[in-house]
Amino acid sequence: MPEQVLHTLGDGFDWRLDHLQWPVTTDVAAGLRGVIAGATRVMWLDPSSGGLAYRGVPIETLAERPDFEAVSHLLITGEADDSPTAGRFRANLRASRTLPGEVTALLRSLGPGTHPTRALRAGVSALGCHELAEGEDLAGERHWRELRIVGQVVGLLTEVIRHRRSVGSAADDPGESLATGVLRALMGADPDPEDVRVLNLLWVLYAAHGVDAPTFASMVVASCLADPYYNIVAGLSALRGTRQGGASQTVMEQLLHRRDPADAERWVRRTLAAGGRIAGFGHPDYRMPDPRVVILRKAGAAMARRKNRGDLYEIARVTETAATRELAARDVHVNINFYGGLLFHLLGAEPELAPCLIAVARMAGLVALVHESLDTIRLYRPLSRYVGPPQRSLPGEAG
Amino acid sequence: MIGRSPVCPVQRYGSGLDGLVVGDTTISLIDGLSSRLLYRGYSVEDLVEHVTFEEVSHLVLFGELPDRSALEEWKGELIRWREPPQAAFDALHRVPFAAHPLAKYRTTLTVAACHVGDLDGAPSGIERRTPARILSWTAALAAAAIRHAEREAPLSPDPRLGFAGNFLYQALGRRPEADEERAFDASLIVQAEHGLHAAALAALIVSSTGADLGSAVLAGMGALSGVRHGAANQLAFEMLGKLEDADHARRWAREALARGHRFPGFGHRVYKCPDPRVRALEPWARRLLAAHGMDERWHTYLALREEVEAALGPRGIHANVDSITGLLYHPLGLPPGAFPIPFCLAIQTGWMAHCLEYAPDGPMISPGVVYVG
């Protein structure tokens, strides 16, 4: 039977297959675009139609009554929120926020101005030292460990936030949701239910997005059978990147520098004319508006009204319109980090914290995809073609 | 890797991206059919004979062997970064002693990274200073982690010693003999670069997001820490440790071959022929083992390699570099748990070179995944 060529970069390819049989023949472009890195049951992403679904449930449905803890459970276990494991999972997720005293001390030993993505990564690394002793067999128990990680990252982040705010450590209330705990640390007060809903919405939308760079870095590390905390350190390292989660920080830094909508418009024109970049635009997968943006733009407008920051929303909207006018022809569209960054800011996060808030969400999808891949994963080892100098002798040697 | 599309826009490949040619590189040629490993055109055997790791790291990172003044400058840069922030050393005391040495080492690096100014991140950090800092900080922190496992305090660097000698001094607490230093240096040279192996790929993915080189190296180390990757030299050495002598090795190998055993340190995804790195290091291993009265272990190794290669060589399975490095590190006095560390210290040179080569044009790496739910 002749082997089928999968035109993964063609418009008609929607990434759903009955099964995946290696080897495959596909399109391959720069940045491994078009390459099939694996098969998953966790999520479906079709960049050409803008479709995104977790375990078969479209994100639009999950966004209606957003519950990040339920979505973590769904992504990681494949079970809906009414399944018998859901309650225990939620309790465990919340309880795993509690950190060993030594880890808290390590975080507190860092300068409060340390970039929070770096502090968070150091915390994850230290926590891994507490979770795993030398010689422990990783294979047996890793399932449960991977599940704990989402809650642990939240615990670390709240501690990082409190340290930045010069507030002492506090135990998280096990009855309180992850979002409530993080918002309390951000605002230093009991959050309003609408803020809790919007943080859940952001986390649900950010939770999984195919094998993006952080997830792929994590999968490659996992394919070597490293300890799971190394996978997370790798994922967080990629999330830091200015083209990745780090862009959410740049978005806010850019918007907060604009005096008013007219200034924003001038700045966009000037920046693009000079070949510069507007953060929050462009995505390697989408050559059409990101469907998550539609949801977040609306949430951003409502939140800005509620917080009396209509001025900031206007600046964002004008920036989006002006940049879209210039960039749409080049197939560069606004991405999730644009309104994501704005919303995190309206929820009390300074720009540097936005990538860490994304990291929380992304942990759920990342551990789900990595965990799923462990059964079948093979060491990732592609090739490159050598185009360097031909074989040569050392200088000073004969021949 | 150069950040452009691969020459072939439609390709057939297996699980783990087996056989996929993701792009072009000018850094190294790994010729898995005729036993060649070239860095920028020079064979590793030649490099091991004639130059030091400092020169090789310059070659791999920047494309050419340094002339005299460039070498002095590069060495000076490496020496300048030999003292990481104190907080990174302190982190060793903030994690449980029983944690895995590579997890402790990772923690020291993540804490050190908290003390790098953000200006040092991409793209302004993509210059000589950053790779030098990473090479020297990691060496100092790795040595401290090894000392910490023996419950010893870190030692100050010795500016008279080169990269290899100073690492051994800081890790072992004694100044190495000339032969020991040369042997260790040789192991760093042959492991300084090896194409897009899993760890290099992990580093490249991270760097493609615009993250700093230090973040890329952390991801690479994660991959390397896995038992399928960097920890293989420890496993290969432990296998050898269970064998009393050459006769025992032959008997056990035949029996193990008969039941289809997979030998750590044998076989390679790319090399289907003898690994040139093994050839380059064997004379050093033999000499070091002899100098430390460990000839028996050399013969045990050789017997095992001959048996396994006689049986599996025709199927393309030969001893790889992981089977031999332990035979250098053991007589030097490094504990088996620390064997992956020199591999980390050397190979990160290649990861950084790939990141630097990719940075100017390379888009963010993000493959697809098919949904089968």
Is A45 part of a structural domain of the chain?
no
Same domain, A273 and A226: no
pLDDT in tens, B109-155: 999 999 987 544 444 444 778 999 999 999 999 999 999 999 999 99
Same domain, A78 and A171: yes
How close does chain B come to A286, measured CA to CA in Å?
12
Same domain, A254 and A201: no
Same domain, A265 and A358: no
Same domain, A315 and A365: no
- Best A3, A7, A19, A28 residue to mutate vs chain B (most B CBs within 10 Å): A28
Asked whether residue B280 carries a pLDDT value surpassing 70, the answer given is yes
B223: nearest CB among A129, A211, A226: A226
Share of chain B above pLDDT 90, in %: 88
Position A46 scores a pLDDT of 83
Rounded to two decimals, the ipTM of the complex is 0.96
CB count within 10 Å of CB A166 equals 7
Same domain, A275 and A365: no
Per-residue b or e along B32-71, where b marks 16 or more CB atoms closer than 10 Å to that residue's CB: beebbbbbbbbbbbbbbeebbbbbbbbbbbbbebbeeeeb
Same domain, A82 and A194: yes
Is A16 part of a structural domain of the chain?
no
Say which CATH architecture domain B41-227+348-358 belongs to. Answer: Orthogonal Bundle (1.10)
Q: Among B204, B367, B19, B269, which residue's Cα sits nearest to residue A28? A: B367
What's the average pLDDT block by block, 10 residues per block, for chain A (399 residues)? 81 87 96 95 85 93 96 92 88 93 96 95 95 63 69 97 94 92 96 98 96 95 89 95 93 96 97 94 73 94 97 97 93 93 98 97 94 86 96 75
- From residue B36, give the alpha-carbon distance in Å to each of A265, A396, B308: 57, 22, 21
Is A295 part of a structural domain of the chain?
yes
How close does chain A come to B93, measured CA to CA in Å?
9
Give ∠ CA B10-B16-B20 in degrees, rounded to 5. 25
Position B357 scores a pLDDT of 96
pLDDT in tens, B53-76: 999 999 999 999 999 999 999 999
Residue B314 per-residue DSSP state: G
Q: What is the CATH number of the domain that holds A107?
A: 1.10.580.10
Instruction: Give the B window 190-229 contacts with A, CB below 8 Å.
Output: 195-199, 201-202, 205-212, 215-216, 218-219, 221-229
Q: Among A231, A176, A168, A218, which residue's Cα sits nearest to residue A199? A: A176
Asked whether residue B4 carries a pLDDT value surpassing 90, the answer given is yes
Q: Is B158 a catalytic residue?
A: no
Residue B250 per-residue DSSP state: H
Residues of A in contact with B198 (CB under 8 A): 220-221, 223-224, 379-381
Same domain, A140 and A215: yes
Position B122 scores a pLDDT of 47
Four-way CATH pick for B232-332: 1.10.230.10, 3.40.50.920, 3.40.640.10, 1.10.10.10: 1.10.230.10
Pairing of strands A36-40, B368-371: parallel
Is A365 part of a structural domain of the chain?
yes
Angle of helix A86-95 relative to helix A68-77, nearest 10 degrees, comes to 110
Say how far apart CA A342 and CA A346 lie, in whole Å.
Answer: 6
Any idea where the domains of chain B sit in the sequence? 41-227+348-358, 232-332
Q: Among B108, B130, B128, B106, which residue's Cα sits nearest to residue B118? A: B130
pLDDT in tens, B239-267: 999 999 999 999 999 999 999 999 999 99
How close does chain B come to A90, measured CA to CA in Å?
24
**Which residue from B minimizes the CA distance to A23?**
B14
| Number of domains comprising chain A | 2
CB neighbour class for A275 (10 Å; exposed up to 12, middle 13-18, buried from 19): exposed
Instruction: Please name the residue ranges forming H helices in A78-115.
Output: 86-95, 101-109
A221: nearest CB among B121, B226, B362: B226
Domain hosting residue A187, numbered range: 60-241+352-373
Same domain, A71 and A195: yes
Q: Among B142, B148, B157, which residue's Cα sits nearest to residue B78? A: B157
**Which residue from A minimizes the CA distance to B29?**
A386
Say how far apart CA B102 and CA B231 lie, in whole Å.
Answer: 10
State whether residue B63 is helix, strand or coil. Answer: coil
Are the Cβ atoms of A31 and B211 closer than 8 angstroms? no
Q: Is B268 a catalytic residue?
A: yes
Same domain, A123 and A256: no
Same domain, A279 and A174: no
Q: What is the CATH number of the domain that holds A258?
A: 1.10.230.10
Same domain, A200 and A157: yes
pTM value is 0.95
Say how far apart CA B202 and CA A380 lie, in whole Å.
Answer: 9
